[in-house]
């Protein structure tokens, strides 16, 4: 895992839909509460304090790499970090998620979303990225929250079940919605550019809750700002992954935003997902994370089913359909990595 040797390329080859010597695998939320070594060093304060500590964040990012032998590392940070760093008033409450002191409610709140200056506002993120690039011999994935998902936190003020305020705002005042989404796109672009310039080899745009929208609303209200994000990083030449949960109905649109890799949750098969995105776009996914709690026989069968559904296509990055739950036994994830590496093939 030391950075002495040149970085391994299986993950990046799959991102570019090129054949590799194995099917690469990593897990969303691979760092975190399912790991005893994470719980041992994380402390009890806000995760935002842990993220602001570059040495701690570096170590937390490396923990799953050591344990699992995954093919990519993901920066330990959070999608609300830029919003927090510009002083919008965000905390991440343990067991709840992001909570906003004064939710976004009207035009006057736009000025609270000023541009991000990564060197000044999030120097600790860049220090963590630089530390990691020096320590890793696999690629580091940087990330940002997509405008819709970050807006949903800013507007709802806390995790939501129905996203009613967000949907009401976008339909009642489209001009305000587009102005908000545009500012959040700029935040994501500034953050992603700074992570890549510090050494990240790929980026993932998390639009975790976009699947709450119908396809027509996704196209009208979300696609323009997410397209702006991918356009804003295109010159950097690193692959872009576009992820959401429950987004099967508009996977093709998510690809059209300018992504190289599309995240697929467990609701549709990889074979079906491939019919919905253009040729040359890679897929990432799609084991149902809940199955990790069902015992190894179930997990092994489900892992093999994901590989079978991909049918040897070179553009496949094995992952879960969403993040690792805290209750998951890390030993199971270790076995999944070994199985994917032993049995996955990318022969087209
Ligand atoms: O391993 C990794 O994936 C990297 C670290 C990472 C975290 N958050 C750390 C974290 C990443 C990529 C994120 C992104 C993120 N944050 C998303 C998109 C990914 C997804 O899951 O869809 C979202 C929606 C958030 C917002 C957020 N932050 C939520 C919903 C929560 C969980 C609240 C809880 O306690 O259950 C957080 C907190 C958070 N971010 C934790 C971690 C490891 C857990 C809390 C902690 O350890 O303090």
Q: At residue 4, does pLDDT exceed 70? A: no
pLDDT band at 29 (very low <50, low <70, confident <90, very high): very high
The CA 253 to ligand 1 mean position distance, Å, reads 25
Strand partners, 46: none
- Listed in sequence order, the residues at least 6 apart from 37 whose beta carbon sits closer than 8 Å to its beta carbon are 63, 67
Q: At the top level of CATH, which class does the domain 10-343 belong to?
A: alpha beta
Residues within 6 Å of ligand 1 by CB: 28-33, 42, 47, 74, 76, 78-79, 92, 94-95, 97-98, 143, 206, 208, 323
The CA 78 to ligand 1 mean position distance, Å, reads 6
- 291 burial via Cβ count (<10 Å: 0-12, 13-18, 19+): middle
pLDDT band at 7 (very low <50, low <70, confident <90, very high): confident
Give this prediction's pTM. 0.97
The CA 219 to ligand 1 mean position distance, Å, reads 26
Strand partners, 99: 91
Percent with pLDDT over 70 in the chain: 98
The CA 31 to ligand 1 mean position distance, Å, reads 10
The protein residue with its alpha carbon nearest to ligand 1, atom 27, reads: 97
To the nearest whole number, what is the mean pLDDT of the chain?
A: 96
Active site residues: 29, 33, 42, 78, 153
Average pLDDT over residues 23-41: 96
What pLDDT shows up at residue 348?
54
What pLDDT shows up at residue 346?
86
Q: Sign of torsion, CA 274 318 184 149? A: positive
Counting ligand 1 atoms within 8 A of each CB, the residue from 78, 320, 326 with the most, and so the one to mutate, is 78
Q: Provide the token pair at 18.
A: 């090129």
Counting ligand 1 atoms within 8 A of each CB, the residue from 26, 40, 47, 160 with the most, and so the one to mutate, is 47
Q: Provide the token pair at 278.
A: 């253009």
The CA 30 to ligand 1 mean position distance, Å, reads 10
pLDDT band at 28 (very low <50, low <70, confident <90, very high): very high
Condensed to tens digits (0 to 9), the pLDDT of residues 127-176 reads: 999 999 999 999 999 999 999 999 999 999 999 999 999 999 999 999 99
Average pLDDT over residues 243-264: 98
Counting ligand 1 atoms within 8 A of each CB, the residue from 29, 64, 67, 210 with the most, and so the one to mutate, is 29
Condensed to tens digits (0 to 9), the pLDDT of residues 325-335 reads: 999 999 999 99
- 133 burial via Cβ count (<10 Å: 0-12, 13-18, 19+): middle
Q: What are phi and psi of 64, to 5 degrees?
A: -70, -25
């Amino acid at each position: 895992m030391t950075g002495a040797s040149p970085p391994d390329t299986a993950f990046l080859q799959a991102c570019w839909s090129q054949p590799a010597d194995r099917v690469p695998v990593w897990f969303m939320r691979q760092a975190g509460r399912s790991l005893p070594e994470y719980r041992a060093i994380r402390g009890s304060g806000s995760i935002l304090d842990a993220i602001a500590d570059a040495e701690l964040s570096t170590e937390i990012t490396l923990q799953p790499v050591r344990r699992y032998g995954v093919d990519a590392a993901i920066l330990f940070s959070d999608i609300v970090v830029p919003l927090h760093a510009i002083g919008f008033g965000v905390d991440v409450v343990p067991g709840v998620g992001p909570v906003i002191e004064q939710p976004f409610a009207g035009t006057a709140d736009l000025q609270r979303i000023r541009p991000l200056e990564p060197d000044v506002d999030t120097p600790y993120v860049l220090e963590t990225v630089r530390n990691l690039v020096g320590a890793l011999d696999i690629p580091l994935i940087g990330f940002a929250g997509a405008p819709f998902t970050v807006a949903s936190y800013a507007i709802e003020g806390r995790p939501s079940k129905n996203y009613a305020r967000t949907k009401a705002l976008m339909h009642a005042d489209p001009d305000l919605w587009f102005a908000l989404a545009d500012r959040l796109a700029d935040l994501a672009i500034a953050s992603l550019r700074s992570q890549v310039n510090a050494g990240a080899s790929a980026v993932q745009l998390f639009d975790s809750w976009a699947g709450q929208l119908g396809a027509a609303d996704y196209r009208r209200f979300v696609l323009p700002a997410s397209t702006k994000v991918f356009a804003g990083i295109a010159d950097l030449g690193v692959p872009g992954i576009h992820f959401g949960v429950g987004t099967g109905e508009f996977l093709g649109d998510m690809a059209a935003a300018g992504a190289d890799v599309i995240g697929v949750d467990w609701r549709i098969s990889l074979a079906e997902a491939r019919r919905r995105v253009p040729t040359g776009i890679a897929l990432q996914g799609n084991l149902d994370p809940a199955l990790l709690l069902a015992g190894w026989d179930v997990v092994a069968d489900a892992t093999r089913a994901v590989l079978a559904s991909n049918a040897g296509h070179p553009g496949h990055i094995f992952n879960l359909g969403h993040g690792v739950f805290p209750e998951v036994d890390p030993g199971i994830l270790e076995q999944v990595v070994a199985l994917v590496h032993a049995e996955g093939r990318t022969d087209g």
